[in-house]
Amino acid sequence: MHRLTNRQILLGITGGIAAYKSAEITRLLKKAGADVRVVMTPAATEFITPLTLQALSGHPVHLELLDPEAEAGMGHIELAKWADHILIAPASADFIARVAAGMGNDLLTTLCLATEAPISLAPAMNQAMWRDAHTQANVEALKSAGYTIWGPDAGEQACGDTGPGRMLEPTDLAARLAAEFEYLALSGKTVFITAGPTREPLDPVRFISNHSSGKMGYALAQAAMDAGAKVKLISGPVNLTPPSRVTCIQVETAEEMLAASLEQIEECDLFIGAAAVADYRPVAIAEHKIKKGNEEIMELRLVKNPDIIATVAKHSHRPFTVGFAAETRDLLHYARDKLVRKQLDMVIANDVSVAGIGFNSNENQVTLVTPEDATSLPQTSKRMLAKQLIEQIALHLNKQDSL
């Protein structure tokens, strides 16, 4: 079921008594980490309310093909593009006949025509309807068109008949859907990543900060999501767009970043501290803008900020913890010192004094330092480097989990 993490599933519900089971399907998919959008035919709403599915999925239920409000937001074509997989459960005899004929006379059949995502149907109907030659011909036509048919099961039916036509159980359908997706290096893992600089205010208009662009942290968030993880990106102020399917928490100060890092830390499997956190902050923040006086020298009193990565590494619900070491000299010495002193599992060290890599650049070159060894990765784009780093981190994390 971990393979469903971050997957975008469109659940179609058609008219039939088995529609009540769709609530459990939605719950199971959400529990497995999938993002679920529900589309109901008019007949389906006679068996289960859209409000129930909205509460379980966390999204408004899509009902009408030509809904002006829906088209102003995620229109039906965008919904078709959004889905990684479409599951129609239950799929009634009427719906199977209409989609087999290539009809697009409601929202759900239109989505089936417009999508490039795989489509799976879970038939549910009276046993005589399932055995009918027309239904069997329609099912064969859908199979030939690339649709997957899951079920039906045989047994006692709501009408009192016994035979094939029961929809497969929600647990079976969820497991089959999970099996459609590749198992990835971080499937089922929850990853927290800090990125960018922090800003420590002096007064309402000035602050202490640094040159971090956040590019490395954002690239790591994208790579972790691509590797199957559920990602929370805790970002300082940057001019970047967060990756899709990533939960982004915007913060300003080191204290705010620490609070966001510790929130729900018990759910975190991997913590990567890629942010450039200000080491110190002003003792006091001026209520109004500090005016320039006649003094040639202005003195500021600073106090040490909390050490976010060390705090996470010492937490009672400690995740696998990876820190960054941005240095200008003695790179490996300082990186290994940080690894030991802060009790980290890995340190990613880079020399920010080298032109063309590090702060604000699009490329980087790093050395992975663990308690056992140090491995240098060649200079490349931060996007490609992030992918390599996530692969290496996942190997160490999964090895630790297997012990």
Mean pLDDT of 261-266: 96
- pLDDT of residue 357 exceeding 80, the answer is no
pLDDT > 70 fraction of the chain, expressed in percent and rounded: 95
159 is catalytic: yes
Q: What pLDDT, in 10s, does the model give residues 290-300? A: 888 888 888 88
Mean pLDDT in residue range 225-254: 95
- Measured CA to CA, the distance from residue 379 to residue 362 in angstroms comes to 11
Q: Is the pLDDT of residue 169 over 60?
A: yes
Query: Mean of the pLDDT values across residues 319-340?
Result: 90
Q: Quickly list DSSP for 306-371.
A: P-HHHHHHTSTTPPEEEEEEEESS-HHHHHHHHHHHTT-SEEEEEETTSTTSSTT-SEEEEEEE-S
Lowest-pLDDT range, 208-212, 248-252, 395-399?
395-399
pLDDT exceeds 60 at position 71: no
Alpha-carbon distances of 184 from 3, 29, 55, 390, rounded to whole Å: 7, 17, 29, 11
Q: Which of 72-76, 117-121, 143-147 has the lowest mean pLDDT?
A: 72-76
65: pLDDT strictly greater than 80: no
pTM exceeds 0.85, yes or no: no
Q: Is the pLDDT of residue 120 over 80?
A: yes
For residue 11, what pLDDT band results from cuts at 50, 70 and 90?
A: very high
The dihedral over CA atoms of 16, 67, 50, 31, expressed in degrees to the nearest 10, equals 100
Q: pLDDT at position 75, please? A: 64
Summarised one tens digit per residue, pLDDT across range 189-237 is 999 999 999 999 999 999 999 988 999 999 999 999 999 999 999 999 9
The pLDDT confidence band at residue 330, using thresholds 50, 70 and 90, is confident
Structural domains of the chain, with CATH: 2-179 (3.40.50.1950), 190-286+296-402 (3.40.50.10300)
Predicted confidence (pLDDT) at residue 187 exceeds the cutoff of 80: yes
Give the burial class of 199: count Cβ atoms within 10 A of its Cβ; 0-12 exposed, 13-18 middle, 19 or more buried: buried
What strand order describes the sheet that includes 148-149?
35-40, 8-13, 85-91, 119-123, 148-149
Contact 41, 108 (CB under 8 A): yes
Q: Phi and psi (nearest 5°) for 269?
A: -95, -30
